Each structure stands twice: as structure tokens, then as C-alpha cells.
């Protein structure tokens, strides 16, 4: 991966431990232009930590993070609590992104359909609207890479479809890279190019159709109801290049793009 | 006919209020009201150090406040202790050191009350000029860091990812608070300066729909408190500093009581 000019961001053998306890060991992956990478894993698997390291908010103990020089990153945090004592409208909240104009903010509000709450205090918008407000903030400033922390958590099914379609549309139009955490171990967005299954180390990674057959993935699901496997959020029938991922369920499929799995996994 | 010393006091007080309100809004927004106390307690230590060094210069106070802020930033990096614990530790340690230094100096013991509540009625023209200049610098500095400071107040990680130099902006903000406290000591004293930052800002929240409005109203309410307090002080012969704070408190209560349709 080292010589890959297209990769916007690359983690190389990143390890981190807090007071002697390993949180992450030897995590390596990259996100390229136009690529959607989804992180899945159980609670406590270190998904958010990987994301914080990728964003430069946390320094790893070992390993490297390389970002393409001068890239602009749009970040959608998982949850954001703005105290009532700070009076700020949704529009002014979006205007906080450095270097944006009002016209730009209004165009993005239109894109994610939150123009009607532009004047409302940002504390008063509903949960689903807040997700879109945060997504709007991530889309401002023409980002090369969009990093989304559980973008559809707490959003109803219709809203999820809409947000995923929007992410797909932006990826196609702007050709940016997308790195996101899925809140659901069983579901990733249709159009995901690479799923990374994390449990303090990378258990397996590859295209969604390869992951769902991977023994390590099934080991993670142990104790979960039977009959549930990785389901690709299949919303968009016009895009057949992604639309056939769910039907492409073939057992015994080899690991085309996945990294080889290392032994010594702990699954607790 | 208003006496000159009353006019001087009102002018000096308004200059302090104009800087304290906007800086205080960020203390309130960042849930760092206690930071104001930590800095003003450090100021008392600065007074003691200044006298020990043979100078009453506000710059010694400011440098002391800035050093304590720097220690706070360093301690916050460890992440083991929450900010309010660290602020409590620093505030009272600085206060104790200050009181010890002051107690060691015979000449100062009598004047402790002056440093605690100030003496606004003793301000001369030179003092007004200094405080006015401080006010302009503080407001100019805040204007310079307005957008990044607001952004990191709303969400620090988001601001950092979007390219805000968080440490630089925080340091500038702390230096502005240190500047204000150092120069406001004579006007309102170490004990009460935090209230001029917090109370008008909180009172302004009742009428504001945007951050800028809240800053603007905090300046107005702070100035009204100064005028009311000094007026009360001259009529009933009350200590001026506490009377100003009492006035700010009354304005805050009035803002809470007015019918909600007048509120934002």
C-alpha cells in the first residue's frame, strides 16, 4: 500500500494500548479516492479508536498514519451535545466550518434537506434531522475524505435508506473516499467496497460478499440469533454493480481483496 | 451634579464590563465558570508576588495568571482528572500561596480587603486609560479568535479535524482572561471579577438567539450593573464592588421572571 498514490489515508500497523491493555494491534488499511470502507465489529472492538487515530485525534503507540498531503477531511461525529446555554441556529452551526460561505451552507442544507430547520436552534432539531445536520457539516468544505461515525444510528429505516443513498451519491459525484463505522454488525451500506471486521485487530476484511462467509466473521456472531449474516443495505436497484452483492452469496468463495487473517484472535 | 470620582468609577467599571461580558460568555458556554475563579485566585498570588518584587504592576499579575493557565493546560493533557477537579486544585493552591505571600509582608496585611473586592471609587484618569486600553485589546483579541473559539466550544474534535489550531486558540483565550483579571483587580477585586464575567453573560442568554447577540447583551447588562451598583453605592454608602454584583444578580433574576414571550 505504501506506494499507492490514490490512497487518501493509510494506517500502517497501528497499535495502541491503554495502561498495558491492548486496544488495537497492528491495524492496517487504507481508503482510496471513490472508495467506501466500512468498519464493523462488536462493542469495545476499537472502531471509534481506529477512527480517532485516522482523524489525527489520537496518536498511536506504534505504527504510522499517512494522509495524502493537503487533503480536506469532513467529519461526522457520532453524537454531539450542544448546551442550551449557547444560542445557535442550525445555519450558524454549519457556518462554523472554516472557509465556507453562506451560499455554500445553504446549498448543502438543501442537498441534505434540512433547509426548513436552518433558523431553528440546533438543540431543537429532531434526532434524524440532527444526523443530517452533522452530515451537512461533514460535506462542507469540499472534503476529499468523509469520515462518518455511525451515520444512521437512531434513524428509522426510510431515513437510513435516504442517508445511505446520499452518501453513495456524493461519493459518485465528488469521487471522495468514505470511511464509516456501522452501528450494526449485520449491516453495511450497499456500495461498500471494503468491509473491515475489527475486534482489536483486523479479523478479516474484503468485499461484503466475501466477509459474510468468513469463519472469523461468524465467530464474532457467536451467541447471536441464527440465520443472521452480513446484510448489505440494498436500496438502489438502478446501480447493479452494487445491487447484486446480496444475491452473490457463494459459499467457499476465496478471499479476493481481503487481508489474510492472523491467528490468535480473542473473541470475547 | 455628579462627582468626578463617581464618573471615573462608572467609566472604569463600564470598560471592565465591556470586556468581561464577551469573555464570560465563552466561560459559560464552555462550562468553565470555575476557570474565572482559578484565574482570579491566581491574580491574588500575582499581587503578593508583585509586592514582594517591589512593583504593583498588573503585568506581574497577568504573567502569574498566564502561568497558572499554562499549568492547567499541561495537567489536562494527562486526562486522569476532570477539568473541574484540576481547576479546584489550582484555584485553592494559588489562593493559599497568595495569602501566605501577603501574610509574610507586614505592610500588606491591612490591605487584603482591597485586593479581594477592589476600590472602584479610587480610580484616577490614568487608571481609566489603562483599563480602557485593556478592554480594547481584550475585545480585539476575542474578535480575532471568535470563529475558531466558537467552533471548538461547540465540538472540540470537530474543530480540530476541520483544521482549527485548538491549542493556540485556547492559549490566546486564557491570556485574554488573564489580561482582564489583572487590570480589573483594582476595579472589582479578585473575589468578584468572575461574577462580572458570568452573571451578565448568563442574564443575556434570556434574550439572545445567536452567540453574537448574547455577547452584545452581556456587554449592555454588565454596563447597566456597573451604573446601578455605583449609584446604589453612593446613595446608601455600600461597598461598590459587591453592589455592582448585586445589581447584575437582580438583572439576571428579572430576565428569568419576564414572560417567556419576551425571551429568545
Q: Is a pLDDT exceeding 80 seen at residue A87?
A: yes
Residue that the C-alpha cell 491574588 belongs to: B44
Does B167 contact chain A (CB < 8 Å)? no
CA dist., res. B59 & res. B263, Å (int): 41
- pLDDT score at A12: 87
Q: Tell me which chain A residue has its CA closest to the CA of residue B154.
A: A82
Q: What is the pTM of this model?
A: 0.85
Same domain membership, residue A263 and residue A236: yes
Highest-pLDDT range among A12-26, A186-200, B160-174: B160-174
Percent of chain A exceeding pLDDT 90 equals: 22
Highest-pLDDT range among A113-127, A217-231, B46-60, B219-233: B219-233
Over range A37-60, report the average pLDDT.
88
- Inter-chain CB proximity A83 and B29 less than 8 Å: yes
Same domain membership, residue A233 and residue A180: yes
Burial class (CB in 10 A: 0-12, 13-18, 19+), A60: buried
Q: Is a pLDDT exceeding 90 seen at residue A23?
A: no
Q: Which of A16-20, A105-109, B68-72, B246-250 has the lowest mean pLDDT?
A: A16-20
Task: Label the pairing between strands A7-18 and A73-76.
Answer: unpaired
What are the chain B neighbours of A57 within 8 Å (beta carbons)?
157, 160-161
- pLDDT score at A233: 58
pLDDT in tens, B152-166: 999 999 999 999 999
Percent of chain A exceeding pLDDT 70 equals: 79
Same domain membership, residue A58 and residue A6: yes
Q: Work out the number of other CB atoms within 10 angstroms of the CB of residue A199.
A: 21
What are the chain A neighbours of B155 within 8 Å (beta carbons)?
77, 80, 82
Same domain membership, residue A162 and residue A99: no
- pLDDT score at A259: 39
Q: Tell me which chain B residue has its CA closest to the CA of residue A121.
A: B209
Where a domain ends, among A143, A161, A178? A143
- Inter-chain CB proximity B158 and A82 less than 8 Å: no
Same domain membership, residue A267 and residue A205: yes
Q: Distance of alpha carbon A110 from its chain centroid, rounded? A: 23
Does A102 contact chain B (CB < 8 Å)? no
Per-residue pLDDT of chain B (264 residues; tens, 9 = 90+): 568 888 999 999 999 999 999 999 999 999 888 888 899 999 989 988 888 888 778 889 899 999 999 998 888 887 778 888 899 999 999 999 988 888 887 766 667 777 888 888 888 888 899 999 999 999 999 999 999 999 999 999 999 999 999 999 999 999 999 999 989 987 888 888 999 999 999 999 988 999 999 999 999 999 999 999 999 999 999 988 899 999 999 999 998 887 665 555
What range does the domain containing A118 cover? 79-143
Same domain membership, residue A64 and residue A158: yes
Same domain membership, residue A152 and residue A268: yes
- pLDDT score at A266: 42
Q: Is a pLDDT exceeding 70 seen at residue A209?
A: yes
Residue B102 dihedral angles phi and psi, to the nearest 5°: -65, -40
- DSSP string over B216-241: HHHHHHHHHHHHHHHHHHHHHT--HH
* Structural domains of chain B sorted by starting position, each given as residue range(s) with its CATH number in brackets: 4-262 (1.10.3470.10)
- pLDDT score at B262: 59
Where a domain ends, among A114, A143, A172? A143
Structure confidence at residue A162 as a pLDDT band (50, 70, 90): confident
- pLDDT score at A142: 86
Same domain membership, residue A221 and residue A89: no
pLDDT in tens, A163-182: 888 888 888 888 899 999 88
Same domain membership, residue A52 and residue A167: yes
Q: C-alpha angle with apex B237: B233 to B239, nearest 5 degrees?
A: 60
- pLDDT score at A129: 87
3-state secondary structure of A113: coil
- pLDDT score at B32: 85
Same domain membership, residue A84 and residue A66: no
CA dist., res. A208 & res. A231, Å (int): 8
What are the chain B neighbours of A80 within 8 Å (beta carbons)?
154-155, 158
Q: Which residue has the higher pLDDT, A72 or A220?
A: A72
Q: Is a pLDDT exceeding 50 seen at residue A265?
A: no
Edge-first strand order for the sheet with A202-206 is A73-76, A145-149, A177-181, A36-40, A194-198, A202-206
Over range A232-243, report the average pLDDT.
43
Same domain membership, residue A162 and residue A136: no
Same domain membership, residue A256 and residue A127: no
- pLDDT score at A26: 85
Name the domain count of chain A: 2
Residue A247's CATH number: 3.40.50.300
Closest among A187, A266, A9 to B161, alpha carbons compared:
A9
Q: Which residue has the higher pLDDT, B102 or A256?
A: B102
- DSSP string over B169-181: HHHHHHHHHHHHH
Where a domain ends, among A128, A143, A158? A143
Amino acid at each position: 500500500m505504501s506506494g499507492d498514490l490514490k490512497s487518501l489515508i493509510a494506517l500502517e500497523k497501528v497499535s495502541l494500548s491503554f495502561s498495558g491493555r491492548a486496544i488495537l494491534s497492528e491495524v492496517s488499511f487504507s481508503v482510496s479516492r471513490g472508495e467506501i470502507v466500512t468498519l464493523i465489529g462488536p462493542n469495545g472492538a476499537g472502531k471509534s479508536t481506529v477512527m480517532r487515530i485516522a482523524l489525527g485525534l489520537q496518536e498511536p503507540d506504534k505504527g504510522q498514519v499517512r494522509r495524502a498531503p493537503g487533503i480536506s477531511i469532513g467529519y461526522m461525529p457520532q453524537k454531539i451535545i450542544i448546551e442550551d446555554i449557547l444560542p445557535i441556529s442550525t445555519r450558524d452551526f454549519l457556518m462554523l466550518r472554516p472557509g465556507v460561505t453562506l451560499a455554500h451552507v445553504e446549498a448543502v442544507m438543501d442537498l441534505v434537506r434540512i433547509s426548513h430547520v436552518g433558523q431553528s436552534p440546533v438543540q431543537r432539531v429532531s434526532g434524524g434531522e440532527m444526523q443530517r445536520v452533522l452530515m451537512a457539516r461533514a460535506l462542507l468544505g469540499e472534503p476529499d475524505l468523509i469520515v462518518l461515525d455511525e451515520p444512521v444510528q437512531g434513524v428509522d429505516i426510510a431515513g437510513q435508506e435516504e442517508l445511505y443513498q446520499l452518501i453513495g451519491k456524493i461519493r459518485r459525484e465528488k469521487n471522495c473516499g468514505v470511511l464509516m463505522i456501522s452501528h450494526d454488525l449485520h449491516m453495511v451500506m450497499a456500495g461498500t467496497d471494503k468491509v473491515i471486521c475489527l475486534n482489536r485487530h483486523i479479523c478479516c476484511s474484503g468485499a461484503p460478499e466475501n466477509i459474510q462467509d468468513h469463519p472469523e466473521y461468524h465467530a464474532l456472531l457467536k451467541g447471536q440469533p441464527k440465520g443472521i449474516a452480513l446484510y448489505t443495505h440494498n436500496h438502489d436497484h438502478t446501480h447493479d454493480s452494487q445491487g447484486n452483492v446480496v444475491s452473490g452469496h457463494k459459499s467457499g468463495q476465496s478471499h479476493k481483496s481481503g487481508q489474510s487473517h492472523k491467528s490468535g484472535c480473542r473473541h470475547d | 451634579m455628579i462627582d468626578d470620582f463617581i464618573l471615573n468609577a462608572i467609566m472604569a467599571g463600564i470598560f471592565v464590563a465591556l470586556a468581561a461580558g464577551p469573555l464570560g460568555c465563552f466561560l459559560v458556554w464552555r462550562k468553565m465558570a470555575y476557570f474565572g475563579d482559578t484565574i482570579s485566585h491566581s491574580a491574588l498570588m500575582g499581587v503578593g508576588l508583585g509586592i514582594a518584587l517591589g512593583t504593583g504592576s498588573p503585568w506581574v499579575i497577568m504573567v502569574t495568571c498566564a502561568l497558572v493557565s499554562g499549568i492547567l493546560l499541561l495537567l489536562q493533557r494527562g486526562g486522569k482528572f476532570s477539568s473541574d477537579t484540576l481547576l479546584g486544585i489550582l484555584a485553592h493552591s494559588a489562593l493559599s500561596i497568595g495569602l501566605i505571600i501577603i501574610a509574610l509582608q507586614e505592610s500588606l496585611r491591612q490591605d487584603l480587603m482591597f485586593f479581594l473586592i477592589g476600590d472602584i471609587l479610587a480610580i484616577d484618569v490614568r487608571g481609566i486609560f489603562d483599563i480602557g486600553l485593556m478592554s480594547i485589546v481584550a475585545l480585539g483579541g476575542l474578535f480575532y479568535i471568535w470563529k475558531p473559539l466558537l467552533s471548538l466550544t461547540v465540538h472540540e474534535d470537530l474543530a480540530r479535524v476541520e483544521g482549527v489550531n485548538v491549542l493556540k486558540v485556547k492559549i490566546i483565550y486564557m491570556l485574554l482572561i488573564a489580561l482582564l483579571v489583572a487590570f480589573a483587580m483594582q476595579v472589582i477585586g479578585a473575589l468578584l471579577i468572575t461574577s462580572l464575567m458570568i452573571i451578565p453573560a448568563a442574564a443575556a442568554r434570556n434574550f439572545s438567539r445567536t452567540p453574537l447577540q448574547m455577547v452584545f447583551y452581556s456587554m449592555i447588562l454588565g454596563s447597566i450593573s456597573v451604573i446601578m451598583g455605583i449609584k446604589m453605592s453612593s446613595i446608601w454608602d455600600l461597598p461598590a464592588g459587591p453592589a455592582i454584583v448585586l445589581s447584575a444578580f437582580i438583572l439576571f433574576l428579572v430576565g428569568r421572571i419576564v414572560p417567556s414571550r419576551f425571551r429568545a
